Chain A
Amino acid sequence: MTWTLIILLALGAYGFKVLGLVVIGDRKLPPVLDRCLALIPVALLPALIVSGTFSVGHHLQIDARAAGVGAAVIAAWRKAPLVLVILIGVAVTALVRAIT
């Protein structure tokens, strides 16, 4: 992690917040833009999940992480709270690593 990245992200993240709340305010956006912007987390989160679960650099592999994330998916599906989903994912990964 570099300080340059942190500063750029801080400026960018605050910029978006100000853009919406203060600059644009309650002016209307075209509905198509509204729909696409709302889908950003829906598109990016699965990508972050698969890369954090299966990738080692440029390789794809199935290891203890897949078991942990699989358990987290089951926990989320059973409507467990956020913190519990994380704890289950972490605990199952540690357990699988310990016994293999």
Chain B
Amino acid sequence: MIEAWREPRTRSVIIASVTLGVAVGAFGFTFGVGAVSSGSTVAQACAMSLLIFTGATQFSAVTVVAAGGSVASALGGALLLAARNGVYGLAMSRRLTGSLGRRLFAAQLTIDESTAMSAAQTEPDEQRLAFWITGATIYVFWNLGTLLGALAGTAINPLTYGLDVAFPAAFVAMLWPLLRDGRARLVAACGALICLVLIPFAPIGVPVLAASLAILLGVPR
């Protein structure tokens, strides 16, 4: 670690990884505020960030439960979003070798940002360094942010400050970079449409789950 800092090539990787980690981790504050304002306790908000540790999944579960959805529908949508970390794991498995214990530990840190930061590097040692530092920094700041946000959220009326829009606005920010090609835009439009059409009829939470059918547009080449 100290050696990596001394060498300019790997030092720039460390700086970029920590910067990204702190920025994304600060977003944990939003999760903390939103979680308690939609009915979770401070302990539950913190437990979610410590144990689940994957943003979109946590936001999705809290959103569906707050709207009055069943445990099954909240679980379904949230787990579908968690499934993509499995795909990131596949991509990272060539770079993250070592003992079983080490890989089981790395698994908890396998999320959007650590995978993306690692993929952005060219050399294998830089890829490993970027993964571990980004993952660890986000873990620390995501949990710290959640705690502070949860404590702040219990002290104010979230509706006055428009905080109920924090989650949809966060989803907008997460979605935007994914709309790179025509197929992605079509899938996104179908997902939104399926959900809107079902909201008046289907049990709460089910419209979001049903929107996942739009991924079948990925079947043709």
Most chain B CB within 10 A, of A18, A42, A81, is at A42
Most chain B CB within 10 A, of A7, A48, A97, is at A48
Q: Are A72 and B173 in contact (CB under 8 A)?
A: yes
| A26 and B97 alpha carbons, distance in the complex (Å) | 11
Q: Are B90 and A29 in contact (CB under 8 A)?
A: yes
Q: Are B75 and A8 in contact (CB under 8 A)?
A: yes
Nearest-Cβ distance from residue A77 to partner chain B, whole angstroms: 7
Partner-contacting stretch, out of B5-13, B117-125, B136-144, B195-203: B195-203
Contact with B along A16-42 (1 / 0, CB 8 A): 111111101110010010111111111
| A82 and B171 alpha carbons, distance in the complex (Å) | 9
Nearest-Cβ distance from residue A20 to partner chain B, whole angstroms: 2
Q: Is B15 close to A, CB under 8 A?
A: no
| A6 and B48 alpha carbons, distance in the complex (Å) | 6
| A57 and B48 alpha carbons, distance in the complex (Å) | 25
Q: Are B165 and A51 in contact (CB under 8 A)?
A: no
| A45 and B178 alpha carbons, distance in the complex (Å) | 10
Q: Are A38 and B173 in contact (CB under 8 A)?
A: no
A85-B173 contact, Cβ under 8 Å, with A19-B89, A41-B84, A44-B60: yes
- What are 26 sample pairs from A and B whose C-beta atoms fall under 8 A apart? A5-B71, A7-B51, A13-B79, A14-B51, A20-B87, A20-B89, A21-B107, A21-B110, A40-B84, A40-B212, A42-B191, A43-B188, A43-B211, A44-B80, A47-B207, A49-B168, A49-B192, A57-B204, A72-B169, A73-B172, A82-B27, A83-B23, A83-B26, A85-B169, A86-B169, A89-B168
- Give the interface of A toward B (CB within 8 A): 1-10, 12-14, 16-22, 24-26, 29, 32, 34-55, 57-60, 64-65, 68-69, 72-73, 75-77, 80-83, 85-86, 88-95, 97
With A17-B85, A44-B211, A72-B173 given, name 19 new contacts (CB 8 A). A2-B71, A3-B47, A10-B47, A12-B78, A17-B108, A37-B215, A40-B212, A41-B56, A42-B178, A43-B211, A43-B214, A44-B56, A44-B191, A50-B192, A60-B196, A68-B162, A82-B24, A85-B170, A92-B162
